[in-house]
Structure 1
Amino acid sequence: MIEEYKSKKKIRNIRKQRQGIVISDKMSKTIVVSEMKKMKHKYYGKSITKNKKYMVHDEKNISKNGDKVSIMEMRPISKRKCWRLVTILKKSNI
């Protein structure tokens, strides 16, 4: 009976994780993280840089501008905020 329950138990989905640099920490409990990707252009082959900004929940306000951080996807907290801070990988020298 217990084995049947374990097999039917819903397994939590794997959450997306990203790494980026904090570009704004002016809001309360929220930071803006920029993720930079280097990729080749499909046709020309030239390497280009793409930026993507994420609004991230920072419960304790511990990260500052320039920090390299790891973030993880979670349920939506507000209209644009559905990521949370996992760890600070490298502190900035500012």
Structure 2
Amino acid sequence: MNERRRLAGVVTSNKMMKTVVVEITRTYRHPIYKKVVHSSKSVKAHDELGCEIGDQVQIVETRPLSKEKRWAVETILKKVSAPVETAKGE
């Protein structure tokens, strides 16, 4: 195994070609005030697996692929269940 950083997050957008936006959430205790803090950030990741919105994915850092892409989707941890399409008027 290599020493690249790996993070888990949720896909929030897949409208680009071979690129997804992954939101990474982090919960930690503030060092001074001892209050629980929730923080999140969004990163763009290269996607060869065909992720959908809502999928939980594991991303790994990589060489710069474009101006903003420094991550790549490694695995899909949990697929989102596909919503059932219903016809209007039935």
Structure with greater helix percent: 1
* SS at 2:51 equivalent: coil
Q: TM-score, normalised by structure 1?
A: 0.80
* SS at 1:53 equivalent: strand
Out of 8, 32, 43, which is 2:32 matched to?
43
Mark the runs of 5 or more structure 1 residues left unpaired by the alignment.
Answer: 1-12
Alignment of 1:26 onto 2:15: yes
Query: C-alpha displacement at 1:21, in angstroms?
Result: 0.4
Identity %: 42
1:68 is matched with 56
Out of 66, 72, 77, which is 2:65 matched to?
77
1:58-82, Cα deviation, whole Å (9 max, x unpaired): 124x101110000111111101101
Query: C-alpha displacement at 1:30, in angstroms?
Result: 0.3
The CA distance in 2 between the partners of 1:38 and 1:14, in whole Å, is 23
2:5 is matched with 16
Structure with greater strand percent: 2
